[in-house]
Amino acid sequence: MYKIDDLAELLDMHTRTIRRYIHEGKLNAMKVGGEWRVSEEELNRFMGKKVQQLHEESLQHVDEYLGKGTSEIDGIYQVCSIIDCYVDGAKAALISQELIQLLNADDPERGKAKFQYFYLQEEKKSRFIVWGKPGFMGKLLLTIETLSKL
């Protein structure tokens, strides 16, 4: 299940746009704990398999990174990591929110770090793909480890 903020990040849309689609009936969602949630199936219906295409593009970015690195990340050393978490959607959303907060925080170690998140419903796993400087990537990985123990 995706939260509004997760969808906005994933689809590169404003949260108000997502909410408007819900209120207009273009996107079906349910309230869980006072927050709107959208299922993977509904998102696929709404986007016409756009989510799968975005996932495939992310994997292509990883392949490109492995082939030649990326100049979008600054610093001498660059790290790309794919983290698969076999947790439920709620735990995955919590991890995603924490990573987004770290990426939005004013941290000089962050540099030009990038992050992508997918919940793969069929496989019942979350996939996080992160790029950046080693020190900052360590913070992200430690955050995932800490949250996985909750």
Same domain, 75 and 142: yes
Cα separation, 19 vs 33, in Å, equals 16
Judge if 53 and 111 occupy the same domain: yes
pLDDT the model gives residue 14: 86
What residues form DSSP beta bridges with 48? Answer: none
Q: What is the mean pLDDT of the chain?
A: 81
CATH number, residue 147: 3.30.1370
Q: Are residues 68 and 135 in the same domain?
A: yes
Find the CATH number of the domain harbouring 10.
1.10.10
Q: CB–CB of 90/1 below 8 Å?
A: yes
Element (H, E) at 35: strand 35-38
Q: How does pLDDT run across 102-143, given as a tens digit for each residue?
A: 888 888 888 888 888 877 777 778 888 888 889 999 999 999
Asked if the model's pLDDT at residue 71 lies above 60, the reply is: no
Of the chain, the percentage scoring pLDDT greater than 70 comes to: 83
Question: Which residues span the domain enclosing 146?
Answer: 49-150
Q: CA-to-CA distance for 26 and 54, rounded, in angstroms?
A: 20
Q: Count the domains in the chain.
A: 2
43 and 56, same domain (yes or no): no
- The verdict on 32 and 55 lying in the same domain is no
54, pLDDT greater than 60: yes
User: Same domain for 5 and 67?
Assistant: no
Would you place residue 91 in the very low, low, confident or very high pLDDT band (cuts 50, 70, 90)? confident
Residues 90 and 110 in one domain: yes
Clarify whether residues 130 and 99 are in a common domain.
Answer: yes
Summarize the confidence of residues 5-32 as an average pLDDT. 86
Examine the domain organization and report whether 97 and 134 are in the same domain: yes
Q: Does 39 share its domain with 76?
A: no
User: Is this structure's pTM higher than 0.75?
Assistant: no
